[in-house]
Structure 1
Amino acid sequence: MPIHKINIVPTWSFRDDSGRELDPQLFSLLRHIETDGKLTTAAKAVGISYRHAWNQLNKWADFFGTPLAELQKGRGARLTELGAKLVWAEKRVIARLEPQLDNITSDLNLELSRLLEGTRPRLRLQASHGYAVELLPRFAQAFELDLQYRNAREALASLGREQCDLAGFHLPVSMLSEEMKSLPTRLLKPRAHRIIRFIIRQQGLMIAAGNPLGIEGLADLCREDIRFINREKDSGTRLLLDEMLQRSGRGSSDVLPSAGTEFTHSAIAAHVAAGMADVGFGVQAAAAQFGLDFIPLAKEQYLMACHQRTLEQPACQLLLQQLRGDAFREAVSGLPGYDARLSGEVLAPDELFAEMEN
């Protein structure tokens, strides 16, 4: 029997006073115009004729009272300011809602699998949202992966209460401070727990393409003309940034000229890409996704903690096989700034910290 999976994606609903509703297909057309720069190519990608695509643009230009795209002879098509804002708004909504929707999706797929396929080995993973973590359900072969997005503090606390089997957390490859390692050292016991290496990812500054403001590093975050979009408190990425700022004598990110906070790397990148902030801090893959420039500042280990006995569970053994396999590592290699060469390696907590201090 084939494996059935549910995917949940947000959709838009615009309605005017006369009851006309915006066709969700328009967003797909606008996205491809932005990417391809040609209406013919965009129409083909969406699966509609050129004439229908042109009619769609005219129809919704009338709906909004202004064009969404412009055709230029010999230069293809480009989005107007409104068209670009609509595409950005969709990207931002998806980036903001993605962790919550993925949590719901995981719950629904588990229930669907139980109904259609019976009980299979189950592994409960709590981890912060990220590009590599998103890949894991695809590699959950012959077992159920119950993936719930939580920050490191929540995930490790859940592991201590035995509310999950694996807890994700991250530590910088270098410059590990006592404060940064206090959470895992306080909650993980050398004899009872084990660490599974997941991936290493590149963190840094995400800035507009071409770097129009001449941003070069952390010092520029303190400039009065720079608007910085921060991550939420207790996120591992924000803790890493605060550690770097403190080491450079600049305090914490709380004092930076702020454009607000967001909850995922992609949401940070969407904010910068839309011009609502000048710079954000996050992973290189997010910058690449939104066509931003990137200034690398630190490499970070994404790790998973578990009880030693969990390693013997069939589902955990299957996961380790996938993490060590070529297919998973090739998938991760397609993410800019990600490295999975050590994925699936198991070590004790004290071995990890001793290694990082050398």
Structure 2
Amino acid sequence: MSQLATSFSALPNPIRWNWDFGVGLTDLESANLIALLDALKNHETLGRAAKSTNLSYRSAWGLLRTCESRFGKALVIKGRGKGTSLSDFGEQLLQLNHAACSTLNELHLPWATRLKEILSPSEVIPPEHLRIAASHDLALADWIENGRHLKVDIYWRGSEEALLALSRGECDACGFHLPGYWTSDQSETWLGRWLKPRQFAFFPVMRRQHGLLVAQGNPLSIETLADVVQLNLRMVNRQRGSGTRGMIDQLLAANGLQAKDVLGYGHEEFTHDAVAAAIASGQADVGFGIQAAAMRYDLGFIPLSRDLYCLAARSGIANSPAMRHLMRRFQGNTFHDRLRALPGYEISSMPDEFLGWDKFACMVRSSLDS
């Protein structure tokens, strides 16, 4: 699934990676195994799967036997007259690979884009085409991917990474979120770790409800973060540097809890979708994220806090025609309708233009207090 809205969506990823399963397989064997399992999933016969992966039947069968011996588990089930199907372990391995590819493609995309710009200077994005590094959001991703005439390329990073990218001039604007329990002074102090707030302009976009994502019906009767520790539940976390991870750590501290006491604290995912998927698939009992992610995966949700999702831009970019066009789209009915259709979202009181820090701080206070 591409996370780019426009021209980069067709950009092939020049960054390659491979599994080291820790069982003594070579890089080629690991790569061929994943390709073969994927082909078996689609073709259901070893002969066709082998052909589609440019392996002989004998080589494919030998690879499966070698890998099964190394793993100590069956990868396929061969039934007489029924073809060859994946075992539960084979299915799990393939699902793991697909999830990893989805996450890593998002991480690699900014570097692939940079490489394209270096190798093909003539194809650099024109000034009216905005580059935005942003904290992941379901509504924003859906709106940008399906929006028309949006001259925006967006790549998902944690709030801290996005702010750092803006400070380095690696993007035209960045998306980040502020916890609802912060004061404007706390917000300014936090932003000051990556940029000088008074040298940038800000635009509040939306408010979101955060909380605990649990299985539908909340069978474990989870009510608070303390329950996660007391019941020794498996938690799925967000990656270090994301705004959501910061909220998790602050809420743990506010409840007198320590990260080392949370089972699964080191299990990190890079998007709200990935957190919800981990719970829906049974890999974890609980996670922290936005309410809309819980609905998308038919999960239960326990509200804990709100945040304010904002954009920041350099003052010179904030008043550009491209940015003004983007603001008008944020203020339009299409974006507002998307927010209303998702649980846990509220439309922020949007100004007509990007704001300096003092005006923005006043709006933050009124927005989060209301």
Give the TM-score normalised by the residue count of structure 1. Answer: 0.69
Structure 1 SS opposite 2:233: coil
Distance of 1:67 and 1:302 partners within structure 2:
51
Q: How far 1:205 moved relative to its partner?
A: 0.7
Identity of aligned residues (%): 29
Distance of 2:12 and 2:260 partners within structure 1:
35
Q: Are the equivalent residues in 2 in contact too, given 1:107–1:146 (CA < 8 A)?
A: no
Q: Where does structure 1 lack aligned partners over 5 or more consecutive residues?
A: 30-52, 69-78
Query: Where does residue 19 of structure 2 map in the other structure?
Result: none
Q: How far 1:258 moved relative to its partner?
A: 2.4
Q: Are the equivalent residues in 2 in contact too, given 1:230–1:268 (CA < 8 A)?
A: yes
Q: Deviations over 1:48-93 (max 9, x none)?
A: xxxxx9999xx9xx9954499xxxxxxxxxx996697478536633
2:269 to 242, 263, 274: 263
**Greater shift in the superposed pair: 337-346 or 237-246:** 337-346
Query: Where does residue 352 of structure 1 map in the other structure?
Result: 360
Query: Where does residue 141 of structure 1 map in the other structure?
Result: 149
Q: Are the equivalent residues in 2 in contact too, given 1:171–1:180 (CA < 8 A)?
A: yes
Q: Are the equivalent residues in 2 in contact too, given 1:180–1:239 (CA < 8 A)?
A: no
Q: How far 1:237 moved relative to its partner?
A: 0.4
Distance of 2:104 and 2:188 partners within structure 1:
30
Distance of 1:107 and 1:140 partners within structure 2:
25
1:198 partnered with 2:205: yes
Structure 2 SS opposite 1:243: helix
1:321 to 322, 328, 340: 328
Q: 1:162 to 1:80 in 2, by over 3 A?
A: closer
Counterpart of 2:10, as a letter, is I
Counterpart of 2:269, as a letter, is F
1:188 partnered with 2:212: no
Distance of 1:277 and 1:151 partners within structure 2:
22
Q: Where does structure 2 lack aligned partners over 5 or more consecutive residues?
A: 1-5, 17-28, 50-60, 65-74, 80-85
Q: Are the equivalent residues in 1 in contact too, given 2:161–2:241 (CA < 8 A)?
A: no
Q: Are the equivalent residues in 2 in contact too, given 1:207–1:278 (CA < 8 A)?
A: yes
Q: Deviations over 1:175-195 (max 9, x none)?
A: 4485554222452343x3211
Q: How far 1:301 moved relative to its partner?
A: 1.0
Counterpart of 1:196, as a letter, is F
Distance of 1:173 and 1:20 partners within structure 2:
44
Q: How far 1:305 moved relative to its partner?
A: 0.8
Q: Are the equivalent residues in 1 in contact too, given 2:238–2:244 (CA < 8 A)?
A: yes
Query: Where does residue 10 of structure 2 map in the other structure?
Result: 6
1:162 to 169, 173, 179: 169
Q: Deviations over 1:135-185 (max 9, x none)?
A: 325436263x23233322232233233332212221023344855542224
Distance of 2:127 and 2:362 partners within structure 1:
37
Give the TM-score normalised by the residue count of structure 2. Answer: 0.67
Q: Are the equivalent residues in 2 in contact too, given 1:106–1:147 (CA < 8 A)?
A: no
Q: Deviations over 1:240-277 (max 9, x none)?
A: 122222233x2443542225332322222222222222
